[in-house]
Structure 1
Amino acid sequence: MLILLAFSCGQNSAEKELNGNWREIESEYSTWHFYPDSLILKFPGEWNEKTYWTANKSQIEFEYRIFGFDSLGKDINTINNVLINYQLSDNKDSLFGTIKNNWGIHKFGLLKTKNYIEYLKRKFGTEFTLPKDSTGKNLGRLSFSSLGGYKLHPIYGLKIFMGRNSKNEVIARTELSENLYNLEFDIKKFKDSIKPWDVPETGTNEMYLDERFHLRVFADESIPDSIITNKLKVTITQNNSELDKHYPEYLRGQKRDTLPIRIYRILKTKEEINPQNIKGKEIKTIANKVLW
């Protein structure tokens, strides 16, 4: 405690404002933990880095060592120098600016939140309290495995948020739109956005992507499953010319049936929820997708 106090007293006012837990706006799996004596970075693939940092009212600086191999198989052992030009929101809980590192200059944003659920509420502007339930399965795997990680891998789950407004009316949105009016378009857009992830494991055959796609619903505990089912009764269709690309010639031109889109309701757990340990239960659905 005395050591931490000494470090804290040595910080300037800008550094003290940054102390705490932050999560990247563009990547919910990337967290930044600013401490008086260190910065701990956690990125997808369970890559962690601890380093020393300094800051003033407009810039943050730090460096970390990069290990690995280049395209020719040679060892990489170099220092990545990072400079962030930033501005804080009036509440000191949002950070926006640019980050410059060995790979160039990029736009950058962080949200300072106590936990992952608070991060989702702020990012998507919906208030909800998850229902308590001892049942449910793990939906949060970040790596593929033989234990069911393929079909419930987070990258295949489009997030849906449902809460209530001041009139006690149900309000709902996707992670891509502020409502559900364009749900079919959002599903297609979401699936297109994750196709690059799909190629290393499954090749370019979209059949696997369609099989693994599902909806992850963060709904307030006051909203029954029946309302969720009713609001997500979309049917995703594609014209035969698109579907036929995945069939041999003698099967082309045939009418396709539909299969239900899987819907998982996210549940509250005893431990603090993170993308890696989300649990949910599958609920009844009348949403459909084309059977490949």
Structure 2
Amino acid sequence: MKKSVYISNFLLILLAFSCGQNSSEKELIGNWREIENEYSTWHFYPDSLVFKLSGTTENKTDWKANKSQIEFEIETYDRNSVGKFVDTINKIKIDYQLSNKRDSLFGILKNNYGVHKFSMLKTENYIEYLNRKFGMEFTLPKNDSNELERVDPVYGMKIFMNLENDNVVAKTELSNSLNNLETDIKEFKNKLESYFGTYDLRTERFYLSVYADKQVPDSMITANLAVRIKSNFFLNNKYDAITIPRPPGDTLPINIYRIYESDENKNLEFRKAKKIKTIANTVYN
């Protein structure tokens, strides 16, 4: 009897929240992730908005919307004219438009600091987001064994693979195939350099993060990603007290990690993955 009362009360609360929203707000309810930056997430709830922009902490606030605009406020800390930090209210307005399916959003955000254009996808989970963003369907294999490692996704360039008529179809996060793999690797490493500086451990920590369908065996992954990179062990730079010439053939296989289905992979801070054997025969700088 008590259980029935609790369920009834819960349904009444949900109904109260639902009735208090207009049709435009109901369309926004759900999980959204920015297309330009997957680390920026927006979770619209009936009673609150929880969002996290790349490089910031999570914020929670009230919100309201109509068919073309979203409004909310957040507290920020700014310096005043004498350099002292003071509490301020950052009023945010987003002019937006939804796709016909109501699962893509195109917005222009205006706040105290300027204007920011962005777009988002509404998805149930991170893998669905990747499927839609990169236009490739895949189902990750399951593996809960101890051989899985925790890897930092920041240093991993994404590779997507699936099987069509027993042939591997693959692309990188930067290209629609593997034909430009060398260029994509250089571009990705340059991006890391812009984030962390030239003399970062970007080469040693860089790896290929493979999101392959469960039907794709490890052997097909390594056969399609047979690449090496130059080692940084003999790297000459202005900080070295002694410069050592790089010997010929001083290369390392690129680390390849296969991503598996895991509850931890819902957390963007780390991934659960298995390091697979590399068959490397091509050198990329």
TM-score by length of 1: 0.82
Pick one of 174, 199, 205 that aligns with 1:205: 199
Could you say what secondary structure the match of 1:63 adopts?
A: strand
Cα deviation code 1:68-91 (max 9, x no counterpart): 779x97424221111111111111
Taking the aligned partners of 1:281 and 1:73, their CA distance within structure 2 comes to 50
In the alignment, structure 1 residue 103 sits paired with structure 2 residue 113:
yes
Does residue 223 of structure 1 match 2:216? Answer: yes
Looking at structure 2, the residues matched to 289 and 124 of structure 1 have their Cα atoms a distance apart, in angstroms, of 26
1:177 pairs with 175, 178, 185, which one?
175
Deviation digits for residues 230-288 of structure 1 (CA, Å, limit 9, x no counterpart): 111134469xxxx6446667534753511111000001125673323521000011237
Deviation at 1:54, TM superposition (A): 1.1
- Structure 1 segment 226-241 matched on structure 2, within 5 A: 226-236=219-229
What residue number does 2:192 align with? 194
C-alpha spacing 1:105/1:230, structure 2 compared with 1 (3 Å): same
Distance 1:101 1:46 in 2: 16
Deviation at 1:138, TM superposition (A): 4.2
Aligned partner of 1:116 among 111, 115, 126: 126
Q: How many residues align?
A: 270
Is 1:137 matched up with 2:148?
Answer: yes
| Larger RCO (CA within 8 A; separation ≥ 6) | 1
RMSD: 2.8
Unaligned segments of structure 1, at least 5 residues: 140-151
Task: Call closer, same or farther: CA 1:39–1:250 in 2, change over 3 Å.
Answer: closer
Q: Show structure 2 runs of 5+ residues with no match.
A: 1-10
Determine if contact 1:60/1:84 at 8 Å carries over to the other structure: yes
SS of 2:33 mapped into structure 1: strand
Deviation of the 1:35 alpha carbon: 1.3
Contact kept in structure 2, 1:159 and 1:218, CA below 8 Å: yes
Q: Calculate the TM-score normalised by the size of structure 2.
A: 0.84
Specify the structure having the higher radius of gyration (Cα). 2
- What corresponds to 2:277 in structure 1? 284
Kindly provide the CA deviation profile for residues 103-137 of structure 1, in whole angstroms up to 9, marking residues without a partner as x: 21121111100011111111111111111112343
Q: 3-state SS of the aligned residue for 1:275?
A: coil
- Could you report, residue by residue, the CA deviation over 1:192-248 in whole angstroms, capped at 9, with x for unpaired residues? 11223323xxxx315x1111101110001110101000111134469xxxx644666
Any idea what SS the aligned residue of 2:58 has?
strand
Identity between Structure 1 and Structure 2 (%):
55
